[in-house]
Structure formats: structure tokens, C-alpha cells
Structure 1
């Protein structure tokens, strides 16, 4: 019964054009595991903005699809599907340990969370973009999950940092905001130092149940 519920929820997330009315993190079960195949929003701990993308290219740098921090909770462009990297033996429903490399697939545009050495538009740090397609992905889409504290597997109530494998930059946001195309949205970028602004929490979403170990 639980599996059919989650299957239906993901179907709705992938097919509805209107915003999905999700359960806030505060109302969901605390400590639920983030597993491969889960569809989640990532909340920047300090500012409470959600990691977001949309079909708007950067006007500088790579010119790839832009990634921002979005202030509103009820926005369908802030959902990301947690996927394993290429050649991984991980399966849907597997738990994610600290230090694991993952990919984040933007649900609406089907591109991957990506970074490289281009400069970000506002702060001049490492640009974070969305790039590729369902079948097009490279190591620029690989992120290492670093769990804060003593947790060994990624859970909803844990503070995490996502470190880009190729550049060493931590997924980062701050109170620097765009004024034109993405007015009111925050810059998301990569920085190579650990800072308070590197910390994220899994928030709203559809969390697939963890596969039981045999």
C-alpha cells in the first residue's frame, strides 16, 4: 500500500502543470531518510529559500540554465530528484551515506544541477547551473553529500553540505539577490570554503521508503 501511494505521488509530481501542494518539512515525519528516487526541495538553512531552477539562461558566464534561491514554498520549479552517479550500483530506495556522490535532476526541466569554473553573476564565485538532459550527464553533475554531526545516512532533519566533485565548491547561497529577470531571487553559487551559508536541509517532497536490507 505504501509503495502504491508513493508511486501515485511521484506520478502527480511529474505530470501536473500546476504547483504541487506538498507537505511542509515541519509537518512531515522527522528523521525520514532521503533515498534514491525521492523528489525533494532543498532549503537553505540560513535564509530559508529553496534551491530552484527555471528555463531562463544566465546572461553571462556559461549561458546555461540559471539556478537560484526561491522565497516561496509552493513552487514546482524547486523539486529535485535524487539520483545515483554513472556506474553506481545504487538502486531506487537505497539510503545515502555521508560521502556518497549523487546527482540532482531538476524535475520540471529535466536538467542536472551542475557547476564549473565560470564566475557566478553577482558574487563572482563558482557558477552553479542546470545542464544536460535525461540521457546527457557528466562529472560536472556530481555532488558529495557531507552530513553535519554524527549521522551516517542522510535524513530529513540533518544539516548537510553538498560539495561539487570537479571544482571542490560547496553549494552556497546568501542574501545577494537578482533585480531583473529573477527579481527577488537569491544567487546560488559555489565556494570552496566551509561556511555557515553552505548548509542545506531537505524540506518538502515525496520521500521513497528505504529499501530493507536483507
Structure 2
């Protein structure tokens, strides 16, 4: 099953590369191997460091704030294809697919199946009453989709299996998960929210995926907070 998913992702990434990719770009299927850079255009799963849950987009809509916001959870299933996200630069950027992503870069995460954007806003999350995290439907530009990369270790660029935090540009809060789980609608899936303070529960790692590799380094985009 996992090999079939990887094969499908390889086909997807070829379509993503297109004319915008760097000439040197190539793809790397990554499961357990280390030393692989996360680049723009890579399709990956984000694994929560303390729970091992994968950042997961559901088809369940939030009740408040409009019909375009869908619940995001932490899912412990390794082979679930709804945990794949495409790493994108900010709208209008000159960065190309295959470019490296330095510390401090502002990125967007687009859900592979639905094309929704990882999003946060000043609504309370359902379980912990922190800030809500959702996948937002729509292709219009929205600053609520912007996340700043913070590398936890001393790496210069984002690497697979290295600890990171994602800080929401608008609210200043960190992408966060914990052992608090849904019971009825999304049983045993963990809440994903955003919180204002750094903790071990807002550390993530890029894990399974298809990583688009190239030789050029990108410059962090400047986005006003």
C-alpha cells in the first residue's frame, strides 16, 4: 500500500514541477532516509514530535465562520493519503519548485487531495479553546494561510526528519497538537490548534513524502506580521 502511494505521489510531483521547476530539479521518494532537503513543490507529511500524529485534513466543516473551513487533526495512520501536503511559497513569489527553504521563510501548505490551504484564525479551537487551525477552501490570497518556518536545531535550511516549528504570520501562534482527541465525529484523532507560546507540543518533522531536489538556495520572503 505504501509503495503504491509513493508511486502515485511521484506522478503527482511530475505534474507539479511543470515549467516552473528549476532545470536541475529531480524527485526523491523519502520514507526513512535522512539528509533530504525539504523544497518548494515537495509533497510530504508533517509528523507531530510528541504524539507521532500526522497533520491531517478531514472533510468535516467547522460550524462557525463560514463553510470554507475544514477540521484539521493529528492522525496516527501512516498510510493515510489525506495527510499529504504540498509546500508552496507565498503568492507572487519568484521562488521556484525545487528551491531550498531557509530558516525564517514564509510558506504555505496546500492539501494534496482537496487543494485547501492550512489556515489559522482568531476563532477558538473545538476542544482546548486555543486558536483554530483548519484547511481553507478557495484559491484567493489569504494572509491566514501564511506560516513562518522556525528551525529548532542549528540547520540553515529545512531538512526531512529535523525538528521545526511553524509560526502563524497573522496571529503569531505556533502550529500545535496534543493528546486531546475527538470522540464522535473524528474518533481518536487528535486536535490540531495554534498556541501563543513555544512548547514541545508545537514541534513537527517532515516525514514520508516525495521531495523535489535542486541545487539553488532560496531567500526568505519578507512578509509583514
TM-score, normalization by structure 1: 0.86
Decide which of 85, 92, 115 is 1:80's aligned counterpart: 85
Q: For residues 48-67 of structure 1, what are the structure 2 equivalents within 5 Å? A: 48-60=52-64, 64-67=69-72
Unaligned runs of 5+ in 1: 1-5, 16-22
Partner of 1:10: 10
Counterpart-to-counterpart distance in 2, 1:56 and 1:110: 15
Counterpart-to-counterpart distance in 2, 1:196 and 1:59: 29
Structure 1 runs (4+) greater than 6 angstroms displaced = none
**Contact 1:10 1:39 survives alignment (8 Å):** no
**Contact 1:68 1:187 survives alignment (8 Å):** yes
Decide which of 169, 174, 188 is 2:192's aligned counterpart: 188
Q: For residues 1-214 of structure 1, what are the structure 2 equivalents within 5 Å? A: 9-12=9-12, 25-26=31-32, 28=33, 30-60=34-64, 64-133=69-138, 135-212=139-216
Counterpart-to-counterpart distance in 2, 1:93 and 1:8: 19
SS in 1 for 2:187: coil
Counterpart-to-counterpart distance in 2, 1:78 and 1:136: 23
Shift of 1:97: 0.4
Shift of 1:49: 0.4
Shift of 1:87: 2.4
Aligned length: 198
Residue deviations 1:28-77 (CA, integer Å, cap 9, x gap): 2x120000000000000000000000221123565521100001100010
Counterpart-to-counterpart distance in 1, 2:53 and 2:135: 18
